[in-house]
C-alpha cells in the first residue's frame, strides 16, 4: 500500500493523488477543532469575522488533547482523535469555506462530508483512536491556542507536527469511503451471523 | 480508615489505570495483532501496541480521553470512617487531574461549563457495596466517552427469550460500528430492570478477559456472542477485519414476568481499570497493577 509524506500547506493537486487505503504522514501545521470550535468557526463566517488562523491547505484534527503548561509554554501530553461523526453536521461547510485539505479523526464520516471532499478536494485520514501518545510524540511544538474559553478539549490548538501518522486514507477526494464499504460488508455478514445464532432473519 | 490513605490509594489507582493497560487486555491485543488478516486492521493494531508501550515509557495517559472517573467501592461492614470516603475520592480525582494530568471531562449539562477538575454533581460517581469484614476494596474505571456514547438499554419482548437478547447484542455492536474504538470489550446484562441491567452491564466491563462467567451456560452464551461479533467484519477502529471485540461478558438478574430488560455497555480497547485492597492497619495491596506502584 502506498505511503505518502505531505507537507502543509497541501495543494488540491497533491490531495487528489491519494486513494482510500493509502497511508499518509503529515508534516507542518494541524489545528484541532471539535463540535464547539466547528460551530463557532461557522458562526464567525456568517458574521463575516475572520478566523484566528488561516486554515487553507492545513489539516483539521478532531481532537481534545490533554495539555500541560510548562512555564508559559503549552505542551501536548496526549492527543488522539475523537469520534468524527459528530462533526458531520459542520464539515462540508468547513471544507468548502476554509479549504482544509485533510480532516483527521476516528470512526469515519458520512455521505455529506464525502461529497464535499470530492467536490472541493480533501481527504479524511483515520488516526488510531486512543493512540494518544503516538500522536503527542509527533507534535513538536504547540504554536498557539485560540478560543480557550470553550474549555481545553474544545479549544483550537495549533500544533506543529513532524510525520504525524500513520493516517489511513479512509475517505478520498474521489467519492470513496472505506467506512461505508465496511458498513456494506457488515450488512452482508449480518445474515450469516443470524444463521449461526439460529435467529429468524 | 484514614481518609489520607484512601486518597493516596485512589490517586495511585487512577494513575495506574490511565497509563498501564491491565495485562489481560494487553495480551488480547497482542493476540489480535498476530491473527488479524486485514491490512488496515493490522495497521491500527500495530499503532495501538506501539502507543501502549509509549505510554508506559513516557508515563503518560494511553488516551487523551482520560474518561469519566467512576469508583466501585466494596466496603467491609466493620470499616470505620466511611463518611470521609467520598471526600477522599473527590480530592484524589482533583489531584490526579492536575498532576498526571487528566483531561477535564466534567461538564454541567445545563450551562455547558466544564468544571476543569473532573468533579461536579455526582462526579466522580461512586458505586457502594457493603461486604463482610474490615477491608476496603477500591476499583477505578476511567470510562471513555466514545464507547459510552453507543451503550444501549432495551426493553425486549419476553416471548422472544434468549434469541431476543442475542439479536439485541449483535444489532448494538453493528450500530456502534467504529465509534467505540474497536476492538472493544462488551458488557451485556439481562433482567433486573432498565437501570439494573445497565449497571450490571457496565460492571461486567471490569471482569478480566480470561475469566468467563462462572455459570457454564452463560459462559457458553458469552463465547457464542464473541464469535458472532467477530464475524461482523467491523474490525479494528472500524476499518475492516476480524477483530471487532476482545471479549463479551454477560451478567444477569431475575426479571419481572412482563419485562425483559437488556443492556449493552462498551469499553474501548483502552479498557482502563485498577483495583486495590486497603486493610484495617493501612497496608495496601494493588491487585491489578502489582508491579506498577
Query: Which pLDDT belongs to residue B230?
Result: 98
Q: What pLDDT, in 10s, does the model give residues B5-24?
A: 999 999 999 999 999 999 99
Rg (CA), chain A: 18
The predicted complex's ipTM stands at 0.90
Contact B16, B288 (CB under 8 A): yes
Say what percent of chain B tops pLDDT 90: 97
- Asked if residue A90 belongs to a domain, the reply is yes
Instruction: Quote the number of domains for chain A.
Output: 1
B171 and B129 both lie in a single domain? no
Mean pLDDT, range B135-160, rounded to an integer: 97
pLDDT-derived band at B91 (thresholds 50, 70, 90) equals very high
For the cut 80, the answer to whether the pLDDT of residue B203 exceeds it is: yes
Using CA atoms of B58, B59, B62, B67 in order, give the dihedral in degrees to the nearest 10. -140
- Asked if residue B278 belongs to a domain, the reply is yes
Inter-chain touch B64–A78, beta carbons under 8 Å: yes
Mean pLDDT, range A116-136, rounded to an integer: 97
Inter-chain touch A129–B181, beta carbons under 8 Å: yes
Q: What pLDDT, in 10s, does the model give residues A50-101?
A: 999 999 999 999 999 989 999 999 999 999 999 999 999 999 999 999 999 9
- Asked if residue A11 belongs to a domain, the reply is yes
B187 and B248 both lie in a single domain? yes
Interchain contact B41–A (C-beta under 8 A): no
Q: Which residue has the cell 467484519?
A: B233
Query: Which pLDDT belongs to residue B291?
Result: 66
Expressed in angstroms, the distance from the first to the final Cα of chain B is 20
Per-residue 3-state assignment (H helix, E strand, C coil) for A24-90: EEEEEEEEECCHHHHHHHHHHHHHCCCCCCCCCCCEEECCCCEEEEECCEEEEEECCCCEHHHHHHH
B8 and B124 both lie in a single domain? yes
B276 and B262 both lie in a single domain? no
For the cut 90, the answer to whether the pLDDT of residue A1 exceeds it is: no
B8 and B140 both lie in a single domain? yes
- Closest by Cβ to B234, choosing from A65, A106, A186: A186
pLDDT-derived band at A186 (thresholds 50, 70, 90) equals very high
Instruction: Quote the number of domains for chain B.
Output: 2
The answer to whether residue A174 is catalytic is no
Inter-chain touch A77–B239, beta carbons under 8 Å: no
The residues near B57 (Cβ < 8 Å, ≥ 6 apart) are: none
Q: Which residue has the cell 477522599?
A: B88
B78 and B105 both lie in a single domain? yes
Cell numbers linked to A82: 475523537
- Asked if residue B47 belongs to a domain, the reply is no
Interchain contact B50–A (C-beta under 8 A): yes
B133 and B164 both lie in a single domain? no
Query: Mean pLDDT score of chain B, rounded to an integer?
Result: 96
- Asked if residue B43 belongs to a domain, the reply is no
Interface A–B counts its CB contacts (< 8 A) at 174
The chain B residue lying nearest A76, using CA atoms, is B64
Kindly report the backbone phi and psi dihedral angles of residue B227, in degrees, each rounded to the nearest multiple of 5, phi listed first.
Answer: -65, -40
> Chain B residues with CB inside 8 Å of A85's CB?
179
B109 and B237 both lie in a single domain? no
The chain A residue lying nearest B114, using CA atoms, is A151
- Asked if residue B80 belongs to a domain, the reply is yes
Per-residue 3-state assignment (H helix, E strand, C coil) for chain B: CCHHHHHHHHHHHHHHHHHCCCHHHHHHHHHHHHHCCCHHHHHHHHHHHHHHHHHHHHCCCCCCCCCEEEEEEEEECCCCCHHHHHHHHHHHHHHHHHHCCCCCCCECCCCCCECCCCCECCECEEEEEEECCCCEEEEEEEECHHHHCCCEEEEECHHHHHHHHHHHHHHHHHHHCCCCCCCEEEEEEECCCHHHHHHHHHHHCCCCCCCCCCCHHHHHHHHHHHHHHCCCCCCHHHCCCCCCEEEEEEEECCCCCCCEEEEEEEECCCCCEEEEEECCCCCEEECCCHHHC
Query: Which pLDDT belongs to residue B290?
Result: 79
B140 and B240 both lie in a single domain? no
Kindly report the backbone phi and psi dihedral angles of residue B267, in degrees, each rounded to the nearest multiple of 5, phi listed first.
Answer: -125, 135
> Chain A residues with CB inside 8 Å of B61's CB?
66, 77-78, 132-133
Indicate which CATH number applies to the domain containing A190: 3.20.130.10
Q: What angle do CA B260, B265, B270 make, to 5 degrees?
A: 165
Query: Which pLDDT belongs to residue A16?
Result: 98
Dmax over Cα atoms in chain B, in whole Å?
56
- Closest by Cβ to B232, choosing from A21, A132, A186: A186
- Asked if residue A58 belongs to a domain, the reply is yes
Mean pLDDT, range B102-123, rounded to an integer: 95
Q: What pLDDT, in 10s, does the model give residues A136-172?
A: 999 999 999 999 999 889 999 999 999 999 999 999 9
For the cut 80, the answer to whether the pLDDT of residue B292 exceeds it is: no
Interchain contact B123–A (C-beta under 8 A): no
> Chain B residues with CB inside 8 Å of A80's CB?
51, 63-65
- Asked if residue B104 belongs to a domain, the reply is yes
- Closest by Cβ to B170, choosing from A137, A193, A198: A193
For the cut 70, the answer to whether the pLDDT of residue B175 exceeds it is: yes
Question: Which of the following is catalytic: A5, A38, A62, A174?
Answer: A38
> Chain A residues with CB inside 8 Å of B63's CB?
78, 80, 129-132
pLDDT-derived band at B141 (thresholds 50, 70, 90) equals very high
> Chain B residues with CB inside 8 Å of A193's CB?
170, 228, 231-232
pLDDT-derived band at B1 (thresholds 50, 70, 90) equals confident
- Closest by Cβ to B63, choosing from A78, A126, A199: A78
Expressed in angstroms, the distance from the first to the final Cα of chain A is 38
B138 and B276 both lie in a single domain? yes
Query: Which pLDDT belongs to residue B259?
Result: 98
> Chain B residues with CB inside 8 Å of A70's CB?
none
Using CA atoms of B55, B58, B59, B64 in order, give the dihedral in degrees to the nearest 10. -50
- Closest by Cβ to A129, choosing from B58, B61, B146: B146
The candidate with the shortest Cα–Cα distance to B268, out of B57, B51, B81, is B51
Helix (H) / strand (E) containing A112 = helix A111-120
- Asked if residue B48 belongs to a domain, the reply is no
Cell numbers linked to B285: 495491596
- Cα-Cα-Cα-Cα dihedral sign, residues A63, A69, A74, A76: negative
Say how far apart CA B273 and CA B267 lie, in whole Å.
11
Provide the residue range defining the domain that includes B252. 146-267
> Chain B residues with CB inside 8 Å of A168's CB?
40, 43-44, 239
B154 and B91 both lie in a single domain? no
Mean pLDDT, range B233-253, rounded to an integer: 97
- Asked if residue A82 belongs to a domain, the reply is yes
Distance from CA of A118 to the nearest CA of B (A): 20
Inter-chain touch A130–B269, beta carbons under 8 Å: yes
Indicate which CATH number applies to the domain containing B109: 3.30.1330
For the cut 80, the answer to whether the pLDDT of residue B225 exceeds it is: yes
Interchain contact B38–A (C-beta under 8 A): no
Say what percent of chain A tops pLDDT 70: 100
- Chain A neighbours among B 182-221 (CB < 8 Å)? none
What is the DSSP secondary structure assignment for residue A162, as one 8-state letter? E
- Asked if residue A201 belongs to a domain, the reply is no
Provide the residue range defining the domain that includes A12. 3-196
Inter-chain touch A78–B61, beta carbons under 8 Å: yes
B167 and B124 both lie in a single domain? no
- Asked if residue A150 belongs to a domain, the reply is yes
Q: Distances from the Cα of A144 to the Cαs of A45, A76, A165, B98, in angstroms?
A: 21, 11, 21, 21
- Asked if residue B49 belongs to a domain, the reply is no
The chain B residue lying nearest A196, using CA atoms, is B228
> Chain B residues with CB inside 8 Å of A164's CB?
none
- Closest by Cβ to B237, choosing from A85, A128, A183: A128
- Asked if residue B211 belongs to a domain, the reply is yes
Amino acid at each position: 500500500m502506498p505511503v505518502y509524506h505531505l507537507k502543509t500547506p497541501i495543494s488540491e493537486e497533491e490531495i487528489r493523488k491519494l486513494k482510500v487505503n493509502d497511508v499518509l504522514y503529515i508534516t507542518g501545521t494541524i489545528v484541532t477543532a471539535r463540535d464547539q470550535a466547528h460551530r463557532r468557526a461557522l458562526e464567525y463566517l456568517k458574521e463575516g469575522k475572520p478566523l484566528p488562523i488561516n486554515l487553507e491547505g492545513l489539516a483539521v484534527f478532531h481532537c481534545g488533547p490533554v495539555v500541560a503548561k510548562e512555564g508559559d509554554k503549552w505542551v501536548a501530553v496526549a492527543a488522539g482523535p475523537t469520534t468524527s461523526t459528530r462533526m458531520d453536521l459542520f464539515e462540508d461547510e468547513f471544507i468548502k469555506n476554509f479549504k482544509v485539505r485533510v480532516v483527521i479523526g476516528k470512526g469515519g464520516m458520512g455521505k455529506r462530508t464525502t461529497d464535499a471532499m470530492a467536490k472541493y478536494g480533501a481527504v479524511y485520514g483515520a488516526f488510531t483512536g486512543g493512540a494518544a501518545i503516538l500522536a503527542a510524540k509527533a507534535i513538536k511544538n504547540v504554536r498557539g491556542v485560540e478560543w480557550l474559553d470553550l474549555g481545553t478539549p474544545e479549544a483550537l490548538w495549533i500544533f506543529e507536527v513532524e510525520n504525524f501518522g500513520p493516517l489511513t486514507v479512509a475517505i478520498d477526494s474521489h467519492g470513496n469511503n472505506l467506512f461505508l464499504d465496511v458498513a456494506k460488508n457488515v450488512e452482508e455478514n449480518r445474515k450469516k451471523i443470524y444463521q449461526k445464532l439460529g435467529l429468524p432473519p | 480508615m484514614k481518609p489520607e490513605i484512601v486518597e493516596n490509594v485512589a490517586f495511585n489507582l487512577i494513575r495506574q489505570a490511565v497509563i498501564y493497560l491491565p495485562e489481560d487486555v494487553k495480551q488480547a491485543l497482542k493476540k489480535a495483532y498476530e491473527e488479524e488478516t486485514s491490512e488496515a486492521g493490522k495497521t491500527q493494531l500495530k499503532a495501538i501496541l506501539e502507543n501502549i508501550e509509549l505510554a508506559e515509557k513516557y508515563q503518560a495517559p494511553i488516551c487523551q480521553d482520560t474518561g469519566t472517573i467512576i469508583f466501585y467501592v466494596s466496603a467491609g461492614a466493620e470499616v470505620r470512617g466511611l463518611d470521609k470516603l467520598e471526600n477522599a475520592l473527590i480530592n484524589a480525582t482533583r489531584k490526579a487531574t492536575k498532576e498526571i494530568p487528566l483531561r477535564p471531562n466534567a461538564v454541567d449539562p445545563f450551562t455547558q461549563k466544564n468544571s476543569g477538575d473532573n468533579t461536579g454533581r455526582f462526579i466522580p460517581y461512586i458505586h457502594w457495596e457493603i461486604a463482610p469484614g474490615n477491608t476496603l476494596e477500591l476499583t477505578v474505571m476511567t470510562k471513555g466517552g466514545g464507547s459510552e456514547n453507543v451503550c444501549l438499554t432495551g426493553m425486549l419482548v419476553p416471548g422472544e427469550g434468549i434469541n431476543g437478547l442475542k439479536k439485541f447484542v449483535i444489532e448494538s455492536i453493528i450500530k456502534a460500528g467504529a465509534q467505540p474504538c474497536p476492538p472493544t470489550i462488551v458488557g451485556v446484562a439481562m433482567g433486573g430492570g432498565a437501570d439494573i441491567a445497565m449497571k450490571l452491564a457496565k460492571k461486567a466491563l471490569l471482569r478480566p478477559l480470561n475469566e468467563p462467567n462462572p455459570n457454564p451456560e452463560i459462559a457458553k452464551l458469552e463465547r457464542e456472542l464473541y464469535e458472532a461479533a467477530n464475524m461482523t467484519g467491523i474490525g479494528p477502529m472500524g476499518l475492516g477485519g476480524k477483530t471487532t471485540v476482545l471479549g463479551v461478558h454477560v451478567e444477569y438478574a431475575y426479571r419481572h414476568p412482563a419485562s425483559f430488560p437488556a443492556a449493552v455497555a462498551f469499553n474501548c480497547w483502552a479498557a482502563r481499570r485498577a483495583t486495590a485492597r486497603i486493610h484495617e492497619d493501612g497496608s495496601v495491596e494493588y491487585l491489578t497493577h502489582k508491579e506498577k506502584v
